[in-house]
Chains A and B, each alone.
Chain A
């Protein structure tokens, strides 16, 4: 069976510090990978998605970046965090089944920027 891991679970960082969040998927190959951010009491905002190694699509211009160094590894980074980067970050994977795209979510990382 497939599993998706995210770490860390919780992170408190000062403004201006760097960020690295990691997501890995097990039990599947060549998944589509996604990073979302969820502000408190809000819906999900798609940040990045990737359909293959080294292929990253950015949805929202901001000070975040994403990389996919391996097939089942997706990393979200920032060189300098802003207060507005606080939120709940969710990684998800999917496999295009020909006509639909069901996504499977990780447990999330709660980021607080102080």
Chain B
């Protein structure tokens, strides 16, 4: 079954607003990552948060991690039309032999209207 599940499936906002996407997972993890995918393209890594971290910032991105609730959120502040894309969370499970693999959620499609 899917390790990560994003919520909402789709989000539409106006330029300048903030966008928040959530991710839930089922098993304990080493790290959680967020990726972005423009339509018809490959995924691009955005940010990684380790299991012992609670919050991380990178430019307009803010990621939080709550391991007790097995959930993470990605906040994009002051959104731009160019932020329109699908966003995926990915986890690597915390057990031997699994560190090579990431499990991706189904993604959130973000549309930022100009």
Query: What total of A-B pairs shows CB separation below 8 Å?
Result: 63
Q: What B residues does A32 contact at CB under 8 A?
A: 100
Contact of A90 among B42, B90, B99, B103 (CB under 8 A): B42
CB atoms of B106 and A42 under 8 A apart: yes
Q: What A residues does B40 contact at CB under 8 A?
A: 88, 108, 110
In angstroms, Cα B109 to Cα A88, docked, is 17
In angstroms, Cα B50 to Cα A101, docked, is 11
Total B residues in contact with A, Cβ cutoff 8 Å: 26
Per DSSP, are chain B's interface residues mostly helix, strand or loop, or mixed?
strand
In angstroms, Cα B40 to Cα A110, docked, is 8
In angstroms, Cα B50 to Cα A43, docked, is 22
Q: What B residues does A104 contact at CB under 8 A?
A: 45
State how many angstroms separate the Cβ of B11 from the closest Cβ of chain A. 14
In this complex, which of B30, B31, B102, B105 has the most chain A Cβ atoms within 10 angstroms of its Cβ?
B102
CB atoms of A51 and B107 under 8 A apart: no
Interface residues of A (CB under 8 A from B): 32, 36, 41-44, 46, 49, 51, 59, 88, 90, 92, 94, 96, 99-108, 110
